[in-house]
Amino acid sequence: MKIMLFGSCLLGALACGGLAYAHHGWGSYDAGKKFTMTGAIAEVEWANPHVHVTVEHDGKPWEAVLAPPFRMSARGLQPDMLKPGTTISLEGYPSTRVATEMRAERLIADGKTYELR
C-alpha cells in the first residue's frame, strides 16, 4: 500500500513538474522595444497553449504569439475572425531569440482593438 501511495505521489509530482516546465515565461521578449506591425494573415494556429498567427511584415513572415484560446474568446475574438488574408495590426515585443517572432499584447482587426493580456 505504501509503495502504491509513493508511486502515485511520484507520478503526480512528475506530471506537474512537466507541465510547469512546458509553460514558458515571457523573458525571451524585449519589453523595451514595443512595436506595431500591420499585415495580412498567412497562417493561423488556434490551439493551446497560445494562438499563433503568421503575418507578412517588411517582406518577411513574422510569427506572433497571442493569448491562449480561452482568453482570445473571452476578449471577443473567435477563430473565424482571424482567417488567412485578413489584414490585422499587432502591437507587442520582439523576441530576443528569433528575429521574426513577437509576443503580441494587442490586436486590431476590422477597426476594433483587442487587449490580449
- Residues 44-75 pLDDT 10s: 999 999 999 999 998 999 999 999 999 999 99
Specify the number of domains making up the chain.
Answer: 1
Residue 39, domain CATH: 2.40.50.140
Q: How confident is the model at residue 38 (pLDDT cuts 50, 70, 90)?
A: very high
Stretch 77-81: mean pLDDT: 95
CB atoms within 10 A of CB 31: 12
Non-local CB neighbours of 50 within 8 Å, separated by 6+ positions = 65, 66, 67, 68
**What are the distances in angstroms from CA 88 to CA 28, 43, 71?**
24, 12, 18
Non-local CB neighbours of 84 within 8 Å, separated by 6+ positions = 40, 41, 42, 43, 44
- Residue 11, domain member (yes or no): no
Place of cell 476594433: 112
Domain containing 103 equals 26-115
